[in-house]
């Protein structure tokens, strides 16, 4: 390593979630070497990937990103943004790129920006499928050419390699598509000579901002002090602390295995990780290792359209109706099938015990038909004579007008697979230019 310690700063858990500017300024007082921010996830479901629409607002992204750009350029340190726009597909990346251009113009600054796209070509993927180089990730069906064609958008989840390549090409700001969350931060640490185990483990902590703190939140920042064989974490906000428990607990976050995290380059192994409380606010982590993969398998995410949705939200307070919910749910579904036909997709969800919230959901091939099914079900339930009923109407308390809300296109994930890359093969397009 060129330095004994590199300071990495994550201002928030997701771009657009907000953060206290006082925390940001305090973090800058430590003179960080790097700023990184995760900007997306599959947490919001398939809609973002399928529709191409962002997860958060332009206003929020611009408000959060402006201080990061200003700090990175003023201090001449790199800024990495991963999974741009939510799902990290081309429309999302280009959306954030336009915001970045606005910021640079308003700040009257120039920056060398690398844009990394993660979109997957369908013809390329079909060839991989024919060669037997695609396999399911988890309990999903084998991928077929038909599902590849049905996918509106397919992205590959990049690891550290594209980030390192972009940085080596001289980028000051890296704006990337769908990314392995820890890789956004681990890439910088690895470039600086830190061990892959500590670099990836620190990346795992930093990608969620201050969630590993107490109290935890994604709307605040975290500092990571990365050494060759260990790291220390400290919340940017002096009102938060890190404890052994909070940092260890977050190391378990969003994982299928207690101490193994698989990624494109290999597996982070935290079995021998040791968490030491240095003082009231800081925790030191040692012992994490990294097992390099013998083959490179990249995760794919794809979404397809599956109709249109309409919903109605209602409240039910009558204890007799609450008690009879199995009865009226079944009666409504049967009546809907009789009225609209066997293909009717009507879903009735209830939440609560003594007082319940009812969500009527209809999915159909057109928005008009979804609206028809939803409004019919709402009307049917408003007057349904459930067991024990005494009143003649008023079953549902409906808080919104119009009561039946068109939600637009429905999407579902239809690709959740791994594709094998051959040695030297890269599928991530990098465009670098001075903006």
Which CATH number belongs to the domain containing residue 344 in this structure? 3.30.70.600
Which of 235, 264, 293 terminates a domain? The answer is: 293
Is 371 found in the same domain as 315? yes
What is the per-residue pLDDT across 200-223, written as a single tens digit (0 to 9) for each? Answer: 999 999 999 999 999 999 999 999
Is 108 found in the same domain as 20? yes
As a whole number of angstroms, the distance between CA 131 and CA 125 comes to 10
Is 380 found in the same domain as 250? no
What is the per-residue pLDDT across 3-62, written as a single tens digit (0 to 9) for each? Answer: 999 999 999 999 999 999 999 999 999 999 999 999 999 998 999 999 999 999 999 999
**Residue 148 confidence class, pLDDT cut points 50, 70, 90:** very high
Q: For residue 393, is pLDDT > 90?
A: no
As a whole number of angstroms, the distance between CA 287 and CA 269 comes to 9
As a whole number of angstroms, the distance between CA 331 and CA 382 comes to 13
Residue 408 domain flag: yes
Is 272 found in the same domain as 348? no
Which of 271, 293, 315 terminates a domain? The answer is: 293
What is the per-residue pLDDT across 77-121, written as a single tens digit (0 to 9) for each? Answer: 999 999 999 999 999 999 999 999 999 999 999 999 999 999 999
The model carries a pTM of 0.93
Residue 89 domain flag: yes
- 256 CB neighbour count, 10 Å cutoff: 8
Q: For residue 135, is pLDDT > 90?
A: yes
What is the per-residue pLDDT across 150-164, written as a single tens digit (0 to 9) for each? Answer: 999 999 999 999 999
Which sign, positive or negative, has the C-alpha torsion 79, 83, 85, 91?
Answer: positive
Check residue 423 and give its pLDDT: 86
Check residue 110 and give its pLDDT: 96
Is 197 found in the same domain as 84? yes
Is 107 found in the same domain as 70? yes
Sequence-distant contacts of 212-217: CB under 8 A, at least 24 apart: 212/242, 212/246, 212/247, 212/249, 212/250, 213/237, 213/240, 213/241, 213/242, 213/246, 214/240, 214/241, 214/242, 214/243, 214/246, 215/240, 216/240, 216/246, 216/250, 217/13
**Residue 390 confidence class, pLDDT cut points 50, 70, 90:** confident
Is 284 found in the same domain as 340? no
Structural domains of the chain, count: 2
Is 345 found in the same domain as 367? yes
| 306: β partners | none
As a whole number of angstroms, the distance between CA 282 and CA 273 comes to 16
Is 113 found in the same domain as 31? yes
Residue 147 domain flag: no
Q: By three-state DSSP, how is residue 366 classified? A: coil
Is 387 found in the same domain as 238? no
As a whole number of angstroms, the distance between CA 181 and CA 409 comes to 28
Residue 220 domain flag: yes
Residue 393 domain flag: yes
Residue 138 domain flag: no
- Give Cβ neighbours of residue 100 (< 8 Å, ≥ 6 apart): 65, 69, 113, 173, 175, 435
Distance of CA 42 to the CA centre of its chain: 4
Check residue 416 and give its pLDDT: 97
Residue 329: domain span:
305-413
* Arithmetic mean of pLDDT, 235-261: 93
Check residue 254 and give its pLDDT: 83
| 412: β partners | 304
Is 205 found in the same domain as 246? yes
As a whole number of angstroms, the distance between CA 186 and CA 283 comes to 18
Residue 136 domain flag: no
What is the per-residue pLDDT across 361-381, written as a single tens digit (0 to 9) for each? Answer: 999 999 999 999 999 999 999
What is the per-residue pLDDT across 305-359, written as a single tens digit (0 to 9) for each? Answer: 999 999 999 999 999 999 999 999 999 999 999 999 988 899 999 999 989 999 9
pLDDT, the chain, mean: 96
What is the per-residue pLDDT across 265-310, written as a single tens digit (0 to 9) for each? Answer: 999 999 999 999 999 999 999 999 999 999 999 999 999 999 999 9
Contact (Cβ atoms closer than 8 angstroms) between residue 220 and residue 12? yes
Residue 67 domain flag: yes
CA atoms within a 13 Å half-sphere pointing along the CA-CB vector of 425: 13
Is 366 found in the same domain as 281? no
């Amino acid at each position: 390593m060129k330095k004994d310690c590199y300071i990495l700063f994550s201002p928030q858990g997701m771009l657009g979630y907000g953060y206290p500017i006082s925390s940001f300024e305090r973090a800058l007082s430590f003179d960080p070497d790097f700023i990184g921010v995760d900007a997306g996830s599959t947490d919001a479901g398939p809609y973002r990937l399928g529709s191409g629409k962002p997860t958060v607002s332009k206003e929020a992204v611009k408000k959060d990103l402006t201080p990061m750009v200003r700090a990175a350029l003023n201090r001449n340190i790199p800024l990495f943004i991963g999974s741009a726009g939510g799902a990290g597909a081309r429309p999302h990346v280009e959306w954030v790129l336009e915001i970045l251009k606005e910021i640079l113009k308003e700040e009257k600054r120039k920056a060398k920006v690398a844009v990394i796209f993660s979109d997957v070509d369908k013809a390329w993927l079909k060839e991989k499928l024919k060669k037997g180089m695609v396999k399911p990730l988890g309990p999903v069906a084998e991928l077929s050419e038909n599902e590849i064609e049905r996918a509106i958008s397919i992205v590959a989840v990049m690891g550290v390699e594209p980030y390192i390549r972009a940085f080596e090409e001289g980028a000051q700001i890296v704006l990337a598509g769908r990314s392995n969350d820890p890789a956004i931060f681990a890439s910088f640490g690895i470039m600086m000579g830190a061990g892959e185990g500590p670099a990836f483990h620190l990346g795992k902590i930093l990608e969620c901002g201050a969630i590993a703190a107490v109290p935890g939140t994604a709307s605040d920042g975290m500092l990571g002090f990365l050494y060759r064989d260990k790291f220390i974490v400290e919340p940017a906000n002096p009102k938060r602390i890190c404890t052994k428990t909070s940092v260890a607990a977050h190391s378990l976050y969003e994982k299928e295995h207690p101490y193994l995290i698989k990624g494109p380059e290999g597996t982070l192994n935290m079995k021998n990780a040791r968490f030491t409380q240095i003082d009231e606010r800081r925790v030191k982590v040692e012992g994490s290792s990294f097992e390099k993969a013998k083959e490179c398998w990249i995760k794919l995410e794809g979404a397809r359209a599956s109709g249109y949705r309409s919903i109605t939200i209602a409240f039910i307070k009558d204890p007799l109706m609450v008690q009879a919910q199995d009865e009226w749910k079944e009666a409504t579904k049967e009546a809907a099938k009789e009225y609209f036909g066997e293909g009717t997709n009507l879903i009735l969800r209830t939440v609560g015990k003594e007082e319940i919230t009812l969500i009527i959901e209809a999915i159909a091939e057109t928005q008009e038909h979804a609206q028809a099914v939803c409004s019919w079900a709402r009307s049917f339930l408003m007057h349904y004579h459930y067991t024990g009923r005494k009143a003649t109407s008023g079953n549902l308390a409906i808080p919104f007008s119009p009561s039946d809300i068109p939600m637009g296109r429905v999407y579902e994930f239809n690709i959740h697979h791994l594709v094998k890359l051959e040695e030297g093969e890269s599928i991530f397009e990098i465009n670098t230019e001075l903006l």
